[in-house]
Amino acid sequence: MKVSEEYGNKITRVAVIGTGFVGSSYAFAMINQNVADEMVLIDLNESKAQGDAMDLNHGLPFGSPMKVWAGDYSDCAEADIVVITAGANQKPGETRLDLIEKNAKIFKSIVKDVMNSGFNGIFIVATNPVDILSYATWKFSGLPMERVIGSGTILDSARFRFLLSDYLNLDVRNIHAYILGEHGDTELPVWSQARVGLEPLSRYIEKYMPDATREDLDRIFVNVRDAAYDIIEKKGATHYAIALGMIRLTKAILRNENSILTVSTLLRGEYGEEDLYIGVPAVVNKSGVERVVEIDLNEEEAAAFRHSAKTLKTAMEPVRRLSD
């Protein structure tokens, strides 16, 4: 069933701002997964956006019916979702937090132009540092917090599930495990709540993998946390997996799925924190973030989450200055 049929024949539109590695990968995935009726590509480099639109349109006979074009900020007025992937990329040796000041200034201009179009939908932010730029988008836009969503730790959680499934030699869809906190160096694995099917991971390993060690599991998390550095060193950018994670988030919104995803959203007392965007499980539907899901963290995990939150709050000062 087409999305428009589910919503009373309303034509659904997604605007993609930034046609670099992530934006173009997201756009390619969009035409393969029948997510929306229309997609407009917007980029400071108009020629790049036009070239991508042409290339994608030539693939439509093999993909999903969709109207695709290169446009401008005025096209955001009728958009249900604006996806922001624009900004300076993380370079080899840089952390995501190194990008704050330059990308915050870029975002202030982008969000202003989007809002001036009359946009009244939902923002999805993917540009790094995603937690801080999601907070910036919320502040710059004036929209309710539920309608500004960062990709958060969707990708980190996917990496976590994949590496665990590979280690356990099990279908990744039966691994239920999450990364919380900053999408970055202070993120944390929630080992205490990890499940294999319905069974706690610790019990599954005890029963079926007696030779497994804590060092093995610690190594898995380090590989999750540092995956971006490794990929960037090897090929210059990470883009396929995050694009697919954003498609998952887009579907949850447009199809009103009430899905629980580890997105970056505003905390208002949950997990003992407030006034920051950070990666936590949340229910996502057509309204955006309906609510944050508070899961039980053990003492070590709670301390790690507080450290991650403190790191983000300290790093957020350039954004607070720009939004004053």
The pLDDT of residue 90: 65
- pLDDT tens digit sequence for 2-14: 343 444 568 999 9
Identify the structural domains of the chain with CATH numbers, from first to last. Answer: 3-150 (3.40.50.720), 154-323 (3.90.110.10)
Is pLDDT above 50 for 1?
Answer: no
Residues paired with 309 in a beta bridge:
none
Rounded Cα distance, 236 and 231, in Å = 7
Residues paired with 81 in a beta bridge:
14, 122
* Residue 224 to residues 5, 188, 189, 217, 299, Cα–Cα distance (Å): 39, 10, 9, 11, 22
pTM: 0.93
Residue 40 has, within 13 A of its CA and on its CB side, a CA count of 17
For range 223-250, the mean pLDDT: 95
The pLDDT of residue 103: 87
Q: Minimal CA–CA distance to 192: which of 282, 303, 307, 308?
A: 303
Question: If you ran DSSP here, which 8-state letter would residue 60 be given?
Answer: G
Structural contact between residues 290 and 146, judged by C-beta atoms closer than 8 angstroms = yes
Would you please indicate which residues are annotated as catalytic (active-site) residues?
Answer: 183
Token couple for 310: 């403190």
Question: If you ran DSSP here, which 8-state letter would residue 91 be given?
Answer: P
Q: Residues 49, 118, 138, CA angle at the centre, nearest 5°?
A: 85
Structural contact between residues 188 and 301, judged by C-beta atoms closer than 8 angstroms = yes
> Among 84-98, 260-274, 277-291, which stretch is predicted with the lowest mean pLDDT?
84-98
- pLDDT tens digit sequence for 157-210: 999 999 999 999 999 999 999 999 999 999 999 999 999 999 999 999 999 998
Is pLDDT above 50 for 64?
Answer: yes
Residue with tokens 């959680």: 157
Q: Is the dihedral of CA 301, 278, 105, 51 positive or negative?
A: positive
Considering the chain, what percentage of its residues have pLDDT values greater than 70?
Answer: 94
The pLDDT of residue 321: 76
Q: What is the mean pLDDT of the chain?
A: 93
Rounded Cα distance, 291 and 176, in Å = 20
Query: What is the CB neighbour count within 10 angstroms for residue 322?
Result: 15
